[in-house]
Structure 1
Amino acid sequence: MTEKSSVRRHGRRRVKRSPVGASPGTLIADPSAIPSTLSATVMSPQGYKVYPSVNLEDIRRLKAEWPAIWVDCVGLGDVSLIADLGKIFDLHALALEDTVNTGQRPKSDFYDEHAFVVLYAIDDDQTHRYEQIGVFFGEGFVITFGERPGDPFDPVRKRIEANGGNRLRARKADYLAYALIDAVVDSYFPHVEATGAAIDQIEDDMVACWERGQLADLHRIRHNLIAFKRWLWPLRDAISGLLRSDAPFLTAETKIYLRDTLDHVASAIEIVETYRETVTGLIEMHMSMAQAKTNEVINLLTIVSAIFIPLTFLAGVWGMNFDPQVSPWNMPELQWYYGYPAALTSMAVIGVLLFLYFRWRRWL
């Protein structure tokens, strides 16, 4: 049976799914997924160590020697490695399946010995490409899964390495999980603020000088705002689920900090909604200005045509083939010595009078 997957179109995220009829918890690697690599950070109130590259045996040893361990798995191409890692920490098979099958909706699930959180981070500033991040945490461990190298966790790593009173090393693993989730949420704000600055710039440019290319920029920004909303709205529900949980490995003190993260998500959603309404209004304004420009052109062409209609009429009359020698009624003006200058002068006078009349009526 072939694997089902959706096609990436118009910048939309490609979603990988398990084959139809597969057993729950079946892990099938995406052919485009990069190989999996593991790193580990272990910590205690007395100190910490960072291991840039580890294997499963190293993780078993470190897990037994240190009170808290953070394992970071980059790349989802090696499902056997991911499955073995899940066995070490007794991770639920359904949660591992959601980890490998990218494109999941942001959520939080609770199992007997651990919690599983799905969220998204922007890993490409230019294209606003999103990366699914899975966070497992339980008593004494945190495991993160990312699709590609590069994540928003550097501030957390620096806090772990900081000297002096270190809250991350002194507290339990659930606080580290909170810090990682909060880092992902905070990583949205620079992109949201940059989007707001771009909206303001386009608005100023539209007022100063309307251009056709501005509409494409507005649609691109609108697409980015829809993506923000798509991942932030369910993330709010996911964090709310963490706050409602009574799992023993999630302490009440950590929930206080998670409540602050929830406020950040709500603030980001409100900003995104405001920007989205602003962009919608700018798109309507751009279309109205385009219609106004078209109307100006039509009005100008109509006025020019109206001025030349009587002139064309006169030229047509004087251009008819009449012979004044046959009858005095056959265009005697054709024999005038100043007939040609008189005709041009009369046409110019009529044109000027019509122009002044249109200006007086404010049609020009």
Structure 2
Amino acid sequence: MVKHIHHFLLIPELRCLEAKNGFYSESFIISSDLSNFTERPIALRWYGYEHLNDREVIEDVGNYFGLYPLLVEDIVHQNQRPELDDPGQLLLVTVPTFSWNPERMEVTRKQINILWRENDLVTFASSEKDLLEPVRQRIRRGKRSHYRDLHPDFLFCAVLDLLVDQHLDFLDEIRVSLILMEDTLSEKPDPQLLQEVYRLRRQMISVARVMPSVRSLVGELYDDYSEWFREENLMYLRDVQDHSQQVLEFVKADREILSGMIDLYLSLMSQKTNDKMKVLAVISTIFMPLTLIAGIYGMNFQHMPELGWEFGYPMVLLFMLVIGIGIGWFLKQKDWF
């Protein structure tokens, strides 16, 4: 018994959920016990491996279900492109996941692999957070008939739908940060903030390159693998396809907001420069005639009547003041400042 517990603690756990005739049970197993579980007659088994920190366990699971070594490598090595593999009597789907850190203004990318063979579903998740827990919660509550009477095709659609919806949540979180950034940028253009915008824009380009592949993956499932799904569950797959299209639209909208923020910054900086140039132009316009008058009376010719006049100096100053005020009033009337 002690030996078994020690073995259990050393090897990462696989969470196993079994369902049949409206009932379900949850347990934790080790990879060497897979054969004992799969031999039991059951309507559905869902194995979840949340932390990809042991290559041996992944290889054991992959070998047991008949995955090619290259597909096992795709599970071990993260940041793979969304793809659908059909190595025989099973499907392997790779779906990227994204998380947003508003404090660091950083996008983190992970992935989830879904393996489906007959009544067995295996999910490999690399995220520290259990992204699939909402599906398990629905199964536990069992408020809807589909979650009380589970079938592999419906569970597959539910997991896929959750992942695509999380893309929408991720983009909503980014949009909130973008709105705050846009408000800050419009109030006080900051070159440092512009650098953050450029960095986020590069990250969003990476997201935008991935999302069309997700939609293509769901479309391929609907068009080429419809025989894997019961007819009443194809509508859920179609719904996932619609959500993936919505994700693309959200990505496009967020990228447009980022581009708009860059244009806004450049426009504000240009306006700020123009305001400064306008002030300089107003000052120059006012002092040009005054400089001309000062230049004329600074030539020191001997025969200049005003130079010998007792009130010449104050009259010239008064004349320059009147000209300056007059030009300023004229420019004010023209809305120059």
TM-score, normalising length: structure 2: 0.83
Q: Matches of 1:363 and 1:219 in 2, distance apart?
A: 35
The alignment status of 1:277 with 2:256, answered yes or no, reads yes
Aligned residues: 322
Cα offset for 1:135? 0.9
What is aligned with 1:167? Answer: 146
What is aligned with 1:70? Answer: 46
Task: For residues 87-133 of structure 1, give each alpha carbon's deviation from its aligned partner in whole angstroms, at most 9, with x where no partner exists.
Answer: 22222323212112222111112121210111111244432211111
58-67 vs 265-274, greater mean Cα deviation? 58-67
60-69 vs 257-266, greater mean Cα deviation? 60-69
The alignment status of 1:107 with 2:83, answered yes or no, reads yes
Cα offset for 1:175? 1.9
What is aligned with 1:38? Answer: 14
Q: Structure 1 residues 56, 162: CA separation in 2 closer, same or farther (over 3 Å shift)? A: same
Task: For residues 147-175 of structure 1, give each alpha carbon's deviation from its aligned partner in whole angstroms, at most 9, with x where no partner exists.
Answer: 23213212101011114664235232222
The alignment status of 1:121 with 2:100, answered yes or no, reads no
What is aligned with 1:177? Answer: 156
Q: Structure 1 residues 337, 164: CA separation in 2 closer, same or farther (over 3 Å shift)? A: closer
The alignment status of 1:315 with 2:290, answered yes or no, reads no
Cα offset for 1:305? 1.6
The alignment status of 1:60 with 2:35, answered yes or no, reads yes
- One-letter amino acid of the structure 2 residue matched with residue 211 of structure 1: P
Q: Structure 1 residues 269, 354: CA separation in 2 closer, same or farther (over 3 Å shift)? A: same
The alignment status of 1:354 with 2:327, answered yes or no, reads yes
Residue of structure 1 aligned with 2:189, choices 196, 211, 221: 211
Q: Structure 1 residues 186, 211: CA separation in 2 closer, same or farther (over 3 Å shift)? A: same
Q: Matches of 1:118 and 1:78 in 2, distance apart?
A: 19
Cα offset for 1:288? 2.5
Task: For residues 295-341 of structure 1, give each alpha carbon's deviation from its aligned partner in whole angstroms, at most 9, with x where no partner exists.
Answer: 22112212212222232333344445x4x8xx4x1x45444433442
Runs of 5+ consecutive residues of structure 1 not aligned to the other structure: 1-34
8 Å CA contact 1:138, 1:249 repeated in 2: no
8 Å CA contact 1:71, 1:143 repeated in 2: yes
What is aligned with 1:47? Answer: 23
8 Å CA contact 2:286, 2:327 repeated in 1: yes
TM-score, normalising length: structure 1: 0.77
How do residues 137-286 of structure 1 correspond to structure 2 at under 5 angstroms? Answer: 137-163=116-142, 166-168=145-147, 170-200=149-179, 209=187, 211-212=189-190, 215-216=194-195, 218-219=197-198, 222-223=201-202, 225-246=204-225, 249-286=228-265
149-158 vs 38-47, greater mean Cα deviation? 38-47
8 Å CA contact 1:138, 1:174 repeated in 2: no
8 Å CA contact 2:79, 2:96 repeated in 1: no
Identity of aligned residues (%): 28
What is aligned with 1:89? Answer: 65
Q: Structure 1 residues 74, 196: CA separation in 2 closer, same or farther (over 3 Å shift)? A: closer
Q: Matches of 2:313 and 2:68 in 1, distance apart?
A: 99
What is the aligned-residue RMSD (CA, Å)? Answer: 2.9
The alignment status of 1:304 with 2:279, answered yes or no, reads no
Considering fraction of residues, name the structure with more helix: 2
- One-letter amino acid of the structure 2 residue matched with residue 294 of structure 1: T
Q: Which runs of 4+ in 1 moved over 6 A?
A: none
8 Å CA contact 2:48, 2:123 repeated in 1: yes
Cα offset for 1:345? 1.6
